[in-house]
């Protein structure tokens, strides 16, 4: 059964008795998050060193390109723990008020959202591919050479049928996306939302999101712009639904679709993939080694999408916006609001 939208307090939503300025809390929170990621990455490298007897074993999971996703999995507990401490002691709100809950409508709405957002992510990727195909070959060209060698050789550390690695990677991408969404669209966005309107909070949190990718390989100026646009799109999903669920699904499914299905680099990284695919031409149009996120063709699609989502939010100003409506108890029951580098990241 659908849950009716409650009437929200006036914008901007403020946390009750929050300690310190939001920017100070955000800066400290991101510093601790970076230290957690750096510590986990150093721990993984240390284990690899010890297990390899001083050398990184080439056939081990820890030496593989997919191991970057393990850093996010291992960081889940410390990141959630730190977020809980910040929210309880400094923000004086509940963890679920950051969007750590089902969207309005419960799990049935979550399933519908997962399907529609997954289709939307696929449509965006398909639109980008069609744009490349439509460009003259001297500017951009897509090359397909059948199934990838990964399907033939697999990974030495993977004991099961190779095809089963795809759902595992999808799950890992969703975990990675969930961590980044908790940090950026969860804590950072909602902390800034205490003092600023939604659009300003979304823009600043998206700029910080792009900076978290500054150490990624093959990064370029177009990629930074596209990461900001991606952040604005994801923040719009959170602003409209009050939940991190849709943003996490869009983020994780996009990364999986690019890296494993379209078989192109995602945020500068190449992983186990389905096809023998490559893109040649002007790196500013194709994204080069960074992948679609570094492409002006994606900018042409993402810019109107972000503008359209935020235009609709602006049109609804003064009407219910679900994330501003409630501070949700951690058990999922609604509670009335108080009123009105060394570490590299996948996008």
**Average pLDDT taken over every residue of the chain:** 85
Could you tell me where the DSSP H helices lie in the chain?
Answer: 22-51, 67-85, 106-134, 149-153, 165-181, 189-193, 198-211, 221-241, 245-256, 283-286, 296-315, 322-325
Place 134 in a pLDDT band, splitting at 50, 70 and 90: very high
Q: For the purposes of burial, counting CB atoms within 10 Å of the CB of 118, is it exposed (0-12), middle (13-18) or buried (19 or more)?
A: middle
Cα three-residue angle 24-213-75, rounded to 5 degrees: 75
Cβ neighbors of 113 (< 8 A, separation 6 or more) are 103, 241, 245, 246, 249
> Which residue, 9, 5, 184, is CA-closest to 109?
5
In percent, how much of the chain has pLDDT > 90? Answer: 64
332 has pLDDT over 70:
no
Between 107 and 7, where is the model more confident? 107
pLDDT band of 324, cuts 50, 70, 90:
very low
Give DSSP secondary structure letters for 28-80. HHHHHHHHHHHHHHHHHHHHHHHHTTTS--TTSGGGSTTHHHHHHHHHHHHHH
Predicted local distance difference test score (pLDDT) of residue 322: 45
Where along the chain do its domains lie?
22-336
pLDDT in tens, 255-271: 999 999 999 999 999 99
**pLDDT tens per residue, range 204-221:** 999 999 999 988 999 999
Residues 17-56: pLDDT tens digits?
Answer: 778 899 999 999 999 999 999 999 888 777 766 765 444 5
pLDDT of residue 59: 66
pLDDT of the residue at 63: 72
Q: How confident is the model at residue 345 (pLDDT cuts 50, 70, 90)?
A: low
**Residues 127 and 297: beta-carbon distance below 8 Å:** no
Kindly tell me if the per-residue pLDDT of 226 is higher than 60: yes
pLDDT, tens digit, 9 for 90 and up, residues 61-115: 777 788 889 889 999 999 999 999 999 999 999 999 999 999 888 889 999 999 9
| 264 cis-preceded (ω within 30 degrees of 0) | no
Residue % of the chain over a pLDDT of 70: 83
Residue 294's closest CA among 262, 327, 269, 313? 269
- The pLDDT tens digits for 305-323 are 999 999 999 988 745 444 4
Task: Quote the pTM value.
Answer: 0.86
Closest-CA residue to 277 (of 119, 151, 139):
151
């Amino acid at each position: 059964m659908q849950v009716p939208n409650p009437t929200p307090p006036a914008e901007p939503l403020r946390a009750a008795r929050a300690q310190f300025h939001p920017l100070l809390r955000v800066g400290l929170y991101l510093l601790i998050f970076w230290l957690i990621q750096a510590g986990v990455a150093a721990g993984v490298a240390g284990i690899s060193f010890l297990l390899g007897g001083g050398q990184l074993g080439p056939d081990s999971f820890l030496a593989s390109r997919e191991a970057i996703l393990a850093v996010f999995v291992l960081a889940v507990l410390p990141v959630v723990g730190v977020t809980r401490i910040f929210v309880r002691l400094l923000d004086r709100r509940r963890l679920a008020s950051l969007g750590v809950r089902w969207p309005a409508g419960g799990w049935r709405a979550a399933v519908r959202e997962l399907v529609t957002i997954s289709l939307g992510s696929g449509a965006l990727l398909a639109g980008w591919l069609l744009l490349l195909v439509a460009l003259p070959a001297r500017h951009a060209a897509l090359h397909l050479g059948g199934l990838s060698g990964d399907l033939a050789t697999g990974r030495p550390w993977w004991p099961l049928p190779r095809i089963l690695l795809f759902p595992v990677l999808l799950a890992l991408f969703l975990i990675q996306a969930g961590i980044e969404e908790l940090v950026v669209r969860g804590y950072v966005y909602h902390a800034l939302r205490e003092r600023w309107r939604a659009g300003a909070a979304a823009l600043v949190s998206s700029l910080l999101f792009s900076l978290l990718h500054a150490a990624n390989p093959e990064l370029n100026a177009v990629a930074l712009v596209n990461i900001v646009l991606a952040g604005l799109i994801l923040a719009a999903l959170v602003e409209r639904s009050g939940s991190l669920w849709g943003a996490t699904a869009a983020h994780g499914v996009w990364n999986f679709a690019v890296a494993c299905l379209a078989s192109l680099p995602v945020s500068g990284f190449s992983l186990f993939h389905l096809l023998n695919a490559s893109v040649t031409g002007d790196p500013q149009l194709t994204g080069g080694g960074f992948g679609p996120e570094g492409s002006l063709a994606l900018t042409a699609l993402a810019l109107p999408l972000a503008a359209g989502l935020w235009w609709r939010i602006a049109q609804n100003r003064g009407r219910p916006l679900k994330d501003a409506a409630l501070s949700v108890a951690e058990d999922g029951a609604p509670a009335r609001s108080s009123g009105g580098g060394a570490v590299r990241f996948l996008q």
